[in-house]
Chain A
Amino acid sequence: MPEPAVEMLHITKIYPDGVVALRDVDFVVYKGEIHGLLGENGAGKTTLMRILYGEIKPTKGEIRIFGKKVKFRGPWDAIKHGIGMVYQKFTLVPTFTVIENLHLSHLAINPKATISETRKKAEELMETVGLKVPLDTVVEDLPIGVQQRVEIIKTLLRDAKILILDEPTSVLTPIETEELFKTLARLKELGITVIFITHKLKEVKRVTDRITVLRRGRKIDTVETAKVTEVDLARMMVQREIVLKIEKKPAKPGRIALVIEDLWVRDERGIDAVKGVSLELREGEILGIAGVQGNGQRELAEAIAGIRKIYKGRIKLYDKDITRFSTLERYRNGLAYVPDSRAVGLVLDMSLRENVVLTNIYRILGKLGYLDWGKGDEIARKVVEELEVVTPSILTPVKYLSGGNQQKVMVGREIVREPQVFIVAEPTQGLDVGATEFIRKMLVKLRDEGKAILLISTDLDEILQLSDKIAVIYEGKIMAVGKPEEFTLEKLGLLMGGVHAE
């Protein structure tokens, strides 16, 4: 029987707002293994790891590290017990050199260390682990892959015996990923335990010894990697019963409303996020883009809305080429975009009326830029009536509305503009069952009225319920497009994990 490094037993996490993130999860990692933690968005992977790292406290449950029962008050306690975490977003000081960053974190466990001691220790460590990093280069001048190596060395310098990597390959190029895998193998030889959070099936299959699959806050199983196939993993990850059923007439697709041709878009860091996406959207149809978060969905939506620069490709709205149109021109030409974040779509400190005006401003505009708030009142009242928004007044700041009502404002202000094409991203994220159903029915109703709807969602249930056609996106590429009947859950799971099924 291998010796366990981490034992998390009966872990339950209920947030103050009643959301159950984890339900009675047992998670055991053996010493010296590479353990994959697999699951969709919202499965609870990150929550579980943040509990292990002491960032949040479990509502119930017990944690043992190397057999010793522990209670962490914060990450500093976890660090003392030899746990290290490498986040997707690095925690390095960008304007410091590598050695300065290492020294900074080294001081946390060894306050008397001098920078030359840190350097000596770091050099020895790089020698044993076989990781090479230029110590005197400023961090922001280094490629992302090298920065990640610095993060790993940083945790090892703190004598980490258990290393948690949160989606480590999501920021890396294929070559950098290969390098990372070599490093992981080397760490394993040195007896370091690695927990590898991911949703990429190929990678988890390739590098791990065992895999734990989470789904909706529950543990599905822990399996030995050698004994399962990618198909098994995909099934475990996505298998579900559909809870909500929505009455839906068969779609009557009409004219082609939106055409996207070979679209290329970069993210904030200048890395390609959308790589040659081509799609066709018809009137009276909901095209669902399925995929795990961070696979280029937001960049795709923003590029269509004109918020993000397109550096290659074309977008056509009916007969018009809108590739070079500004955001406002696109909106005025019949495009609507409901973003995935209410913090973006709404100005929380402003009133409902002012938020409705945000995308309707051209409709209340008078001479010399004068805004006719009387007309604004009318539009706002229409949104409140049609979408059944519960609010004391149209002058109430939207920050006082519930999430569901906020979402209704975001969707409603687009509907009253009567556009032809809707880009809707994560329309029901964080909403309760009632609000979710309302929004979904609204989308179906719009489809029946002949609107073209591009639904971008990481919620597979939503995609399956609403879509007349599904496209799966993975790492900025469309893996497959087809009717819902053409996909099994398993196949969707594989595609979302980057594996072409056959």
Chain B
Amino acid sequence: MPSKDGFFQKLRARFRARAQDYGMAALEVFLSAAIGFLAGALALLVLGYDPLKVYEVLFSWGYTDIGYLLLKSTPLIMTAIAFSIPALAGVFNIGGESQLYVGALLGLLVAYYIHNAPLAIVAAILGGAGLGLFIALLRVYRGINEVITAIMVNWIMYWLLAYLVTGPFNNPKLPQQSVPVPKSAQIPVFSIGGVNIAGSFILAVIGALVIYYIVFYTKTGYIMRVSGLSPASAKYAGFSPEKAILTSMLIGGAAAGFGGALLVLGDVHSIDTTLSAVYGLGFTGIGIGLLGRNNPIGIIFAAIFFSGLLIGGQYVELFLNAPPNLSDFLIGVIVIALSIPYAYRFIISWIKRRRMAK
């Protein structure tokens, strides 16, 4: 870590050196947001809703309950990281979804049987990491496209989880959900200055900071970034881009698994048989990762922003009698607009690297 004295000076120097990049990024975000909201407004008009009212509800209700906002952003931070770390190394991890399922399930089971939160978290991390590694191994040693593997694994894990929570680990007293996390293994919520801050959120932020440190202040992170930006340079320097892929998927999977444990131990405390508590968090993470520009700290803010949209969306349904699809649609438009420029560059460079690798 940089020494404390001169930290801000260093920060300023870094900012000045990249002012051009940062300026473009700020302009991009501003333009994308404007376009996103405009497009959303147009669509709302066509569908017969008052865009101003919808946006008012979305933003005033989405971001009022800070504690709830942060709690809901917790798993999203981790699934976004699950996407972004492999992205830095040049792989497309859309398996955050199933890596989160595994984490949630293992976290739940360990908590239920052993009543120990730290152990549950460790199990969840290992499970997620293992699943991520599995996809990476197939990619590196068998040349199987990681996107295809991840899609298949996602569905396998989805139905496996559905079976397990309705079958062997169903709660006999409450058949609509799985066995619960006992009180002793739940992650508490702290009240700080009148705001309820979830312990799980704090853990997620710590997790994101640790990963930020790994990415920017360790050899492992450096090799991953070099490999992602230019595999040929990595080989020239004597690094193995393949190994970087394995490491990044290991870290990504671990993050998603961690997110699954935080969700179960810190928020929902059981998995409902319709899987509505877990479904979609991994996919949403992809958008957040792009929005946060694959930077763990950027991701924290992007996840909070996104979580607010999700919450606000529910109030739009409630107050304006809009169908649930409307808020999903609106969030989609905004997020797509915000992530398009970055996603575009990211995908283009990804395709180029693929070609070069051949």
Contact = CB atoms under 8 A, between A and B. Distances in A.
Interface of A: 305-307, 326-328, 330-331, 337, 339, 341, 343-351, 354, 357-359, 361, 365, 368-371, 373-374, 392-397, 400
Contacts of B14: 395
B13 A345 contact: no
Interface string B1-15: 011000000000110
Given A371-B217, A395-B17, 17 more contacts: A327-B237, A346-B233, A347-B225, A350-B225, A351-B17, A361-B219, A361-B222, A369-B218, A369-B219, A373-B2, A393-B13, A393-B17, A395-B13, A396-B18, A397-B17, A397-B18, A400-B20
B229 A350 contact: yes
Contacts of B3: 374
B354 interface: no
Contacts of A396: 17-18
9 contacts: A306-B238, A328-B237, A347-B226, A351-B17, A351-B18, A358-B233, A365-B219, A393-B13, A395-B18
A331 B238 contact: yes
Nearest to B16: A393
B235 interface: yes
Nearest to A392: B17
Interface in B1-44: 2-3, 13-14, 16-18, 20-21
A410 to B, nearest CB: 10
Given A393-B16, A395-B14, A395-B18, A344 B229 contact: no
A345 B236 contact: yes
Interface residues of B, number: 24
Interface string B220-231: 101001100110
A167 B18 CA distance: 43
B232 interface: yes
B236 A307 contact: yes
Nearest to B21: A397
Contacts, number: 82
Nearest to B349: A349
Contact of A358 (B16, B18, B21, B237): B237
A344 B230 CA distance: 7
A371 B238 contact: no
Contacts of A306: 238
A93 to B, nearest CB: 14
A327 B220 CA distance: 17
Contacts of B236: 305, 307, 327, 337, 339, 344-345, 358
B217 A345 contact: no
A406 to B, nearest CB: 13
B232 A361 contact: no
A394 B218 CA distance: 19
Nearest to A342: B233
B233 A368 contact: no
Q: Chain A: interface secondary structure?
A: mixed
Nearest to A305: B236
Contacts of A337: 236
Contact of B238 (A327, A370, A393): A327
A347 B218 contact: no
Contacts of B232: 341, 343-344
Contacts of B230: 343-344, 346-348
Contacts of B217: 370-371, 373
A374 B218 CA distance: 13
A365 B220 CA distance: 11
B220 A369 contact: yes
A413 to B, nearest CB: 10
A396 B14 CA distance: 8
Contacts of A343: 230, 232
Nearest to A268: B358
A393 B18 CA distance: 10
Given A307-B236, A337-B236, A350 B20 contact: no
Nearest to B226: A347
B2 to A, nearest CB: 7
Nearest to B220: A369
Contacts of B222: 354, 357, 361, 371
A357 to B, nearest CB: 7
Given A358-B233, A371-B217, A371-B218, A350 B226 contact: yes
A397 B232 CA distance: 18
A15 B15 CA distance: 34
Interface in B197-246: 217-220, 222, 225-226, 229-230, 232-233, 235-238
Contacts of B235: 307, 327
Nearest to B235: A307
B233 A345 contact: yes
Contacts of A326: 238
The 4 closest A-B pairs by CB, nearest first: A327-B238, A395-B17, A328-B238, A369-B219
A354 B17 CA distance: 13
Nearest to A372: B217
B210 to A, nearest CB: 13
B232 to A, nearest CB: 5
Given A365-B219, A371-B222, A349 B233 contact: no
Contacts of A358: 226, 233, 236-237
A347 B20 CA distance: 18
Nearest to B218: A369
B235 to A, nearest CB: 5
A63 to B, nearest CB: 32
Nearest to A364: B219
Contacts of A373: 2, 217
B17 A370 contact: no
A392 B222 CA distance: 23
Interface string B235-278: 11110000000000000000000000000000000000000000
A349 B144 CA distance: 28
Nearest to A341: B232
Nearest to A327: B238
A397 B230 CA distance: 14
Contacts of B2: 373-374
Contacts of B237: 327-328, 358-359, 361
A329 to B, nearest CB: 8
B218 A370 contact: yes
Contacts of A392: 16-17
A347 B16 contact: no
Contacts of B21: 397
B242 to A, nearest CB: 14
A395 B14 CA distance: 6
Nearest to B14: A395
B233 A347 contact: yes
A481 to B, nearest CB: 27
A344 B233 CA distance: 5
Contacts of A354: 222
Contact of A347 (B13, B18, B229): B229
Contacts of B16: 392-393, 395
B30 to A, nearest CB: 22
A305 B235 CA distance: 10
Contacts of A341: 232
A100 B210 CA distance: 53
Q: Residue among B218, B220, B230 with the most chain A CB within 10 A? A: B230
Contacts of A339: 236
